[in-house]
Structure 1
């Protein structure tokens, strides 16, 4: 279902590879990523302030458009969200808006380059994950967060199209998309993705959802996991490119491993 959708929604043809790898574990929950020469070319390690994220022109432009009711891809997206939710039996009316993420050519090229590097390294190191050699071990994962803009009900008669990212510092969706996941939180903790569409990826988002104008949202992402290290395992595989924290959670250290495709606003 997802394979047929991703070929037609134009969120990008392929995703790149994860190049960084964990150096050591600390308190079973945090880790330090080893710096490599190639890594410095693909990701910035300096945290960027919210003010800089809002006004800096160097960031690659990303924009959104609404996936309207009646669009063939909307039903598929709703099904993906429902099946991955905590209670799949709940009605899809909880979904208020679905937005398609339009990534720039430069961003897609970064993902392509990233994927090819992971495939290359998988062959060189004889990685045990067969899919790492085929497509970089691409997975569908969710990044749970919040949104301030574009949070209206999709049943409204007003058509929403070609939406620019807002400048509200409280809008986590726009700040994440604008920075390509290079926020202070993700640079410190890695990009924490889940198989569950309703799990928050950031610890600081639960409290602020109580504010009236902030809504829950999840970013549907194509993710290159490469070979994964099990966080609960005593065996440290130095060829790993991501961390499998548990059956639901996957953490990747490099933003270029994640390609956002849709934003789902729900209650």
Structure 2
């Protein structure tokens, strides 16, 4: 659980909330007088999930998914809300079942709908309020319990519809995107779009819009995380080399030449 401290032989492992999903943790491993911090996916400014401050360390493995993207979550959320309000006929919003679905529920205005099969998994993610920011569980519960339930076989609703997955490759999103494409119904994508996925194709063809709702840190957030951890040596994960190179001016300790399989001595 986030906040636990574990001991194995001569190693001590401290954990904390990541802000990415309910129960997600970063790890700070202390061994031989050195501390290495691995953060996995983190969201420093989530409206739903808390993130625990990370300790100082000698080596840090940081979530660099967004490269040098510096646009704050507040601006992205504003863009999404304005886009939704401009489409009163409704829209399809593909989203991962964990994490970003709750972020969208926290910001979307007015009536909304969710795929029926999402209700129970989303409720399970907010069942323990200690894993969320204060008051988030109550606000999202109210949104879920008043949301329209959509399922295959009925028309797309005249309100924002959340369906998983975020790439349109599986789950109810597959059919919802097919229906939207056939009818010219608005579609808003808000996350990673791997090449070859239905969501990527629709964006490339101008059949869907895209505003990234951050579920990973922006460059200014990564710089602050690094500085607050004592400006340690730094490795970036979940990122291409060109994105790491674009970050190096802001993060001078970032090693951009490391690849999977390398050994690095601290």
Task: Name the TM-score class by shorter chain.
Answer: under 0.3
Which protein is richer in strand relative to its size? 1
Greater Cα radius of gyration, structure 1 or 2: 2
- What is the TM-score with the length of structure 2 in the denominator? 0.26
- What is the TM-score with the length of structure 1 in the denominator? 0.26
